[in-house]
Amino acid sequence: MADSDLALFARINKQDSQAIAGYLADGGYEGFKKALAMAPNDVTEFVKKSGLRGRGGAGFPCGLKWSFLPKDHPGPIYMCVNADESEPGTFNNRILMEQDPHQLLEGIMISCRATRATTAYIYLRYEYGRSFRTLEKAIGECYAQGLLGQNINGTDFSLDIYVHRGAAAYICGEETGLIESLEGKRAWPRVKPPFPAVEGAFRKPTVVNNVETLCCVTHILQRGIEWFQSIGIPPDPNNPRDPGSYGPKLYQVSGHVNNPGCWELPLGVTARELIDDYAGGVWKGRTAKAVVPGGLSTGFMTNAELDTPLDFAGPGRVGCLGLGTAAMVVIDDQTSMVDVLYNSCRFYAHESCGQCTPCREGTSWMMKILHRIRTGDGTPRDLDLLQEVADSMGIIPGTTICGLADGAAWPVKNAIQKFRPEFEAYVQNKQTSTDPIRELVGSH
């Protein structure tokens, strides 16, 4: 996209892009003022009509999520901002918070106006120290300008925003795990229903939205529905249930490319375009063997699948879990998929919260089976065993409370199905790989 077409990233390279003075000079908080002049339900309807879908991974329509809140609830209603960004390969929320905190704060304010929430907690992963300090400063500026606090701009709308720091646990990105953690408990996801909109933080109606989603809300109010729907992919006319993929998206590319980075592009760009036109191609003159389309949980695309458009529906058509966080990880042709899958399984075994047995045991056994394969002791039967374990865990087979298990299983399913000959050859040739960290600490 040309620089002049950018919305989410329009300000990130400006000097002092974090300061409120520059934000106001660029027309900032006009969207919030517009929302303040509207009835809350009208703001919800406006965002609903825009077609905005959540950017955190699941792609659930944002305005629809808000409309699940009980009508005429006496309050309090809470907003939780999911800033626990921890999906391997994902980093766009960090850039948004570090470079343009007021864009996010305005989105929070508009969303709280729409949902009648009077307190918003930004649940921020601890590792984002710079984001923490940037947001704290920006929130302070808002209170000083009268944009936060009691009776904002002389209206009946009051709002407080607090940053709540996590403690390095991936599961806190699951919205009910996040709420439990916010409440001071272990981050065990809750059985749903009730969904947070009915019973969330502190047992009150709660909305949980991702950072990038809320930044989109800011621009939808400032620029309008027509602008938002002029970008991206409209709904499939042959599928009445498809909400489409409207709006800009912050695509991230990391791994074996010459120029890793994050770009704002219309939803629907292909993986190949991202690699070749933006990320400078695969490094060292190599080709891509596999690509993670949207954060590790979404699985793998093969080289032959790289022309898949990365909209909400695209990755699913080639057997991936979904668009996820639109965080692409490129794996070159000199890299062993056995090693990549071991890394994936080790991550989920480490991050499973332990509440549901199929996930706690399954993630751990998948890692152990891959360890066995990597020490030369694997058998062809192990590949079927991996597939069997992966198929038995998650929301999809109905054996776990949350989707962490589906995200742990998906890379295994995709790798074994799409790269089976490589796994078979590895096992048959009794190839081995080292795990330098395991050698150091004696465990995974």
Residues that bind other proteins (CB under 8 A): 76, 85-91, 93-94, 125-130, 132, 160, 162, 164-170, 181-187, 202, 252-256, 260-262, 292, 296, 327, 329, 331, 335, 340, 343-344, 347, 350-351, 353, 435-437, 440-441
Q: How far apart are CA 444 and CA 440, in angstroms?
A: 10
Q: How far apart are CA 315 and CA 304, in angstroms?
A: 13
Write out the E strands in 247-359. 248-255, 261-266, 288-292, 301-302, 327-332
Specify whether the CB–CB gap between 324 and 148 falls below 8 A.
no
Give the nearest distance from C-beta 189 to other proteins in angstroms.
Answer: 13
Give the nearest distance from C-beta 317 to other proteins in angstroms.
Answer: 23
Q: Would you tell me how many other CB atoms lie within 10 Å of the CB of residue 248?
A: 24
Give the nearest distance from C-beta 143 to other proteins in angstroms.
Answer: 14
Nearer to other proteins, 130 or 368 (CB): 130
In Å, what is the CA distance from 409 to each residue of 72, 346, 392?
A: 41, 12, 9
Specify whether the CB–CB gap between 44 and 80 falls below 8 A.
no
Nearer to other proteins, 391 or 435 (CB): 435
Specify whether the CB–CB gap between 169 and 126 falls below 8 A.
no
Give the nearest distance from C-beta 211 to other proteins in angstroms.
Answer: 12
Give the nearest distance from C-beta 388 to other proteins in angstroms.
Answer: 24
Residues in the chain: 444
Nearer to other proteins, 221 or 253 (CB): 253
Nearer to other proteins, 41 or 335 (CB): 335
In sequence order, which residues have a C-beta less than 8 Å from that of residue 167 and are 6 or more positions away?
126, 181
Q: How far apart are CA 338 and CA 412, in angstroms?
A: 10
Give the nearest distance from C-beta 369 to other proteins in angstroms.
Answer: 19
Nearer to other proteins, 174 or 243 (CB): 174
Nearer to other proteins, 143 or 381 (CB): 143
Give the nearest distance from C-beta 429 to other proteins in angstroms.
Answer: 23
Give the nearest distance from C-beta 94 to other proteins in angstroms.
Answer: 5
Q: Would you tell me how many other CB atoms lie within 10 Å of the CB of residue 316?
A: 15
Write out the E strands in 278-405. 288-292, 301-302, 327-332
Nearer to other proteins, 261 or 319 (CB): 261
Cis peptide before 101 (omega within 30 of 0): no
Bridge-based pairing state of the strands 248-255 and 327-332:
parallel
Nearer to other proteins, 66 or 128 (CB): 128
Give the nearest distance from C-beta 202 to other proteins in angstroms.
Answer: 5
Specify whether the CB–CB gap between 226 and 300 falls below 8 A.
no
Nearer to other proteins, 36 or 182 (CB): 182
